[in-house]
């Protein structure tokens, strides 16, 4: 089954404690992206990757890092999380059909 | 820069009422347009998409959307809503010349009363 898998789905952490949210897709898509969803703001792009070792900033990259060492994986790294990064995060991938496929979401709370 | 606006923050309808959700975008060139739906507690799923051709596109679950280039609009419609259509709806634009960047609208929450 074609899917985008994110882990963890739910996480509560404390300010400053590094964390990684993993994202994996099994559709051989070249393009992958991270979004955060906040009430009233819709989805805002954090980072995206056009292919392995190619990443670029989206609209709200501050406080986040990404890496793309393999085509299927695109982890999101919060080196020093802060409360304003409390949000719902979605990973997505895109292939030749030009639509985005989304993961189930990861709800992060930073205390 | 691209931007997407959605006319309504929250729409409340009774079952069998007709639905129209507005979406406008700011980019003047060639665009790909999408409507996504997010059911409570779930991820975003594609409802329908427009790339080119017939400006009236049909999607899943009886939804359709009309692209009006002169108005920079891509409004979503459904003739008769059901309680199960309760969800949040997002319009998204991917503009040529902006690479792979999708821009999403703020979303419209639809509540359908039984």
pLDDT tens readout for residues B26-53: 987 888 999 999 999 888 999 999 998 9
A6 → chain B, closest CA residue: B43
The answer to whether B2 and B25 are in contact (CB under 8 A) is yes
The nearest CA of chain B is from the CA of A51 a distance in Å of 11
The answer to whether A84 and A108 are in contact (CB under 8 A) is no
- Which of A47-61, B1-15, B47-61, B97-111 is predicted with the least confidence, judged by mean pLDDT? B97-111
Q: Which of B42, B49, B105 sits opposite A99 (nearest CB)?
A: B49
Whether the predicted pLDDT of B97 surpasses 70: no
Q: Could you tell me how many CB contacts below 8 A there are between chain A and chain B?
A: 49
Q: What's the Cα-to-Cα distance from B64 to each of B14, B48, B78, rounded to whole Å?
A: 19, 7, 6
Q: Which of A45, A90, A94 sits opposite B44 (nearest CB)?
A: A90
Do A94 and B46 count as a contact with CB atoms less than 8 A apart? Answer: no
Whether the predicted pLDDT of B110 surpasses 70: yes
Do B34 and A58 count as a contact with CB atoms less than 8 A apart? Answer: no
Q: Which of A31, A42, A90 sits opposite B107 (nearest CB)?
A: A42
The answer to whether B109 and B11 are in contact (CB under 8 A) is yes
Find the mean pLDDT for residues A78-103.
92
* A50 and chain B in contact, CB less than 8 A: yes
Q: How far, in Å, CA of B57 to CA of B8, rounded?
A: 21
Report pLDDT for A18.
Answer: 96
Token pair, residue A15, equals 């300010």
Q: Is B83 helix (H, G, I), strand (E, B) or coil?
A: helix
Find the mean pLDDT for residues A64-90.
97
């Amino acid at each position: 089954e074609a899917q985008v898998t994110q882990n963890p789905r739910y996480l509560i952490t404390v300010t400053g404690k590094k964390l990684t949210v993993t994202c994996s897709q099994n559709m051989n898509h070249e393009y992958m992206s991270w979004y955060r969803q906040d009430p009233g703001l819709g989805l805002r792009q954090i980072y995206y990757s056009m292919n392995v070792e190619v990443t670029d900033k989206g609209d709200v990259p501050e406080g986040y890092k990404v890496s793309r060492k393999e085509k299927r994986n695109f982890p999101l790294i919060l080196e020093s999380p802060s409360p304003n990064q409390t949000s719902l995060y979605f990973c997505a991938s895109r292939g030749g059909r030009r639509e985005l496929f989304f993961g189930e979401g990861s709800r992060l709370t930073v205390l | 820069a691209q931007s997407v606006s959605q006319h309504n923050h929250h729409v409340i309808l009774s079952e069998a009422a007709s639905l129209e959700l507005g979406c406008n975008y700011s980019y003047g060139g060639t665009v790909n347009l999408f409507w996504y739906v997010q059911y409570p507690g779930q991820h975003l799923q594609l409802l329908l998409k427009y790339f080119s051709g017939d400006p009236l596109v049909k999607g899943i679950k009886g939804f359709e959307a009309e692209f009006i280039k002169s108005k920079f609009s891509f409004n979503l419609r459904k003739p008769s809503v059901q309680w199960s259509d309760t969800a949040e709806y997002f319009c998204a634009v991917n503009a040529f010349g902006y690479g792979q960047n999708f821009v999403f609208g703020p979303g419209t929450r639809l509540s359908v009363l039984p």
